Amino acid sequence: MRRKSQASRWWAEVEIQVQFFDLDPMQIVWHGNYVKYLEVARCALFDKIDYNYVQMGESGYSWPVIDVQLRYIGSARFGQRLKLRADLVEYENRLKIDYLISDAETGVRLTRASTTQVAVDIATGEMCFVSPPVLFKKLGVEAV
């Protein structure tokens, strides 16, 4: 269930500068590197809610990405400063995060994306159909 009214409650923004090693032969960011940029924003979001990957593992859960959706609007170039924003928009049964990658100086949109992650009990390897209580505690909300 999407909680649009609370989406802005859990978000993070970071800025990065496009590096030479991220470019393709056409001198623009290779499309596959945008997934790496999503990870940078996602890690900032998880740090902000105090539930990063180390803490997830310590709590007994892994959260593999099971779906990635990307829509390329414009190309990023060497040296360009990018603003990466991640918004947590679903959390009850899975983590769904929406992303916006834009030019940090002008605000022009370059990429929109979303990822979906599910909780997996590390001890059993079983996928959880409801997010574990630790996530609700970190978000400061009542469990469903």
Does residue 144 fall inside a structural domain?
no
Query: Which residue in 39, 33, 5 sits closest to 19, CA to CA?
Result: 33
Global model pTM greater than 0.85: yes
For 47-76, what is each residue's pLDDT tens digit?
999 999 999 999 999 999 999 999 999 999
Its domain, for residue 95, covers 4-139
CA–CA separation, 114 and 131 (whole Å): 18
Q: What three-state secondary structure class fits 39?
A: helix
Give, in order, the Cα–Cα distances in Å from 65 to each of 5, 106, 120, 127.
Answer: 24, 31, 11, 12
**Per-residue pLDDT at 8:** 57
How many domains does the chain contain in total?
1
Helices in the chain by DSSP H: which ranges?
A: 33-48, 53-58, 133-139
Does residue 95 fall inside a structural domain?
yes
For 108-124, what is each residue's pLDDT tens digit?
999 999 999 999 999 99
What is the CATH number for 63? 3.10.129.10
Helix (H) or strand (E) holding 125: none
For 25-39, what is each residue's pLDDT tens digit?
999 999 999 999 999
Instruction: Tell me if 112 sits within 8 A of 100, measured CB to CB.
Output: yes
